[in-house]
Amino acid sequence: MIRIVILLLALASGGAASWLALGTGDQRAVEVAEVQETPSQEVLVAAAELKRGAVIEENQLRWQPWEGEIPPVFISRSSRPDATTALKGSLALSGFVAGEPIRDDKLAQGGTGYLSSLLPSGKRAIAVRVTAESTAGGFILPNDHVDVIHTVARPDASGDAGKVVSRAILSNIRVLAVDQTVSQASDGASVIGKTATLEVDPEQISAVAAAEASGTVSLALRAITDNHEASVVEAEGTRPGVVRFFNGGRMSMVEVPSRSGGS
């Protein structure tokens, strides 16, 4: 009987030892697994919102951890550790929200010709002389939409200066730049320049050039909710009752019936 008890105790002790050994081994395996972390990856993102046409500063970019495979179009820290410095002065061809990964195909390098990358296909850029008074007190900034107003003094029959006439020659025109600044000043203040570069259709270039040569040009700021409207322009030098329409890069002439004197 004593031998049987001793045998049972021996078996129980062995089982307990085996259980403890297995439990310790699993715990050590878990601890090892917890220590082995996946190497951290980082991609370049916008530190704050970047608007289309903004010139990128170094403090507007930052590195952000990234889990999983990094898409080839993103900029990783392992492949380009100096990207924050190298991309300083680049131009944002489209807007970025804060935290959005930066992509090379959405940037243009600063320097000669970089403004042309802002122009959509089929558009042209033309500069006009402006003052603070002719640009809504200097509050017109790049990417705003404006109406272009032509003012000219028409001489009377004696040749003296007659009445002053103003008319809208273009409407809903996007401002590409003020002087050579394609975004507002770093302190958020408005940029008051001497020239404004406008995005126009090829057919509209002659209207702007003729207006500058024959009088003065002013820009009227449009509400952002009106930016979708098509351009409607009264054509100078066309027969009475004819209106020229600019829409989607195309020009069309529409004759408006004139009222008779008795109507």
pLDDT digits (tens, 9 = 90+) for 203-227: 899 889 988 888 888 888 888 877 6
The pLDDT tens digits of the residues spanning 48-80 come to 999 877 788 999 999 999 998 999 999 999 999
Of 158, 138, 63, which Cα lies nearest the Cα of 102?
63
CATH code that applies to domain 42-109:
3.90.1210.10
Of 205, 182, 201, which Cα lies nearest the Cα of 193?
182
Listed in sequence order, the residues at least 6 apart from 67 whose beta carbon sits closer than 8 Å to its beta carbon are 38, 41
- The residue assigned the tokens 């990358």 is 117
DSSP state string for 114-137: GGGGGSPTT-EEEEEE--SGGGGG
Report d(CA 86, CA 21) in Å as an integer: 57
Report d(CA 119, CA 238) in Å as an integer: 30
* Cβ density class 134-161: b for 16+ within 10 Å, e for less: bbbebebbbbbbbbbbbeeeeeeeeeee
Instruction: Give yes or no for a contact between 148 and 217, defined as CB atoms under 8 angstroms apart.
Output: yes
Looking at every residue in the chain, the average pLDDT score rounds to 74
Domain boundaries, the chain: 42-109, 119-233
Report d(CA 218, CA 208) in Å as an integer: 11
Report d(CA 153, CA 160) in Å as an integer: 10
* pLDDT, position 108: 79
Geometric angle at alpha carbon 206, from 161 and 133, rounded to 5° = 55
Strand partners, 152: 165
The pLDDT tens digits of the residues spanning 118-140 come to 778 888 999 888 876 666 656 78
The count of residues in the chain is 263
